[in-house]
Structure 1
Amino acid sequence: MRPMRFAFLFWAGFWAFLLDQASKYLVVHWMGLARLRSIDVLPPVLNFRYGENRGINFGLLDNNSDLARWLLIGFSTAVCIVVLTWVMRTQPVRRMQIAAGLLVGGALGNVVDRLLYGYVLDFLNMSCCGIENPFVFNIGDVFIFLGAAGLILFENQSDRQRKKAP
């Protein structure tokens, strides 16, 4: 029965990874965003803008070097291993498993991009209320953010459940 214990973690990670990669393929390749560079979907709230992120969030550490690429692949993989190890050593609530799965699935989606292309494919651009956002991101980034927030929010719930258990 042990494998079933982390089923929510596995399936959340699986679907996060799959949705991230499928959305990138659909928008960047199938819809031709790589060629068109820009598709207005629901301006200004939702637009597709082609981006190649060689650094981390918001283009930080974007020096376009192979060393940086491999360091970021290693760092992302290490974060995934640490999160998985941490969560598997506890008895996490279902929401914490899902959060960990989302974070790992999104991070691995970005790792695959770096392995395939040398950079992370970004395409989502959202603006609102007269403020124009110049940054682009992807579905994997959304899952990483939601997963990290969920781990922070639900970690204490796992502690309380462990303390209540006889």
Structure 2
Amino acid sequence: MAKNKKTFSTSSSGSLTPWLGIAAVIILLDQLTKITISKLFTYGEELYVTSFFNLVLAHNRGAAFSFLQNESGWQRYFFTAIGIGAALYIVYLLKKHAGQRMFCWALALILGGAVGNVIDRLIHGHVIDFLDFHWRSLGHFPAFNVADTAICIGAALFILDELRRVNR
């Protein structure tokens, strides 16, 4: 009697649980770092770490790179709604494509980052940023956080996964 062999499938096989676990770890790391920085720093306070990196407590009421930062406050609700909608759609995609490892890694990182920033908007009305990179006379890159880092890594993995898929 032959045993049934399980084959790796890139369709909908697989569990949603590991991907939600990855997202949960990102959310936890993001929130713990933001709580720590908020307790140790006052708004705008900087700590020199290296010639190209500081820790700073910054608040971003806008989106990436402080887009719409100086608006009247409507952006809080707009970006919160976008974040929640994106999170729901990502969970749907994770469930549908749970067997596609790199695709789901990308989605899980993006999900964790999006939810981390939505939590900030709901609790504080802004996103807490604290990682400040700069280079000599070129100035400072906009401050960011663990959630933003996870979103960027997830986006890079998503592009890499798509390029791999196209080259097959």
TM range (shorter): 0.7 to 0.9
CA contact (8 A) 1:8 1:101 kept: no
How far does residue 133 in structure 1 lie from its aligned partner after superposition? 1.5
Candidates 37, 40, 59, aligned match of 1:27: 37
> What is the TM-score of this pair, normalised by structure 2?
0.81
Q: Within 1, Cα distance between the matches of 2:53 and 2:141?
A: 12
> What is the TM-score of this pair, normalised by structure 1?
0.81
How many aligned positions are there? Answer: 157
Q: List aligned pairs for 1:57-136, cutoff 5 A.
A: 57-128=64-135, 131-136=138-143
2:48 corresponds to: 40
CA contact (8 A) 1:8 1:94 kept: no
Deviation per CA, 1:80-109, whole angstroms, max 9, x where unpaired? 222222332235422222221111111111
Q: Within 2, Cα distance between the matches of 1:59 and 1:87?
A: 29
CA contact (8 A) 2:76 2:126 kept: yes
* 1:8 partnered with 2:5: no
1:143 corresponds to: 150
Q: Within 2, Cα distance between the matches of 1:12 and 1:87?
A: 12
1:54 corresponds to: 61
CA contact (8 A) 1:92 1:158 kept: no
**Percent identity of the aligned residues?**
27
Structure 1 stretches of 5 or more lacking a match? 162-166
Candidates 23, 27, 36, aligned match of 1:17: 27
Change (3 A) 1:51 1:145: same
| Alignment RMSD (CA, Å) | 2.6
Q: Which has the higher Rg, Structure 1 or Structure 2?
A: 2
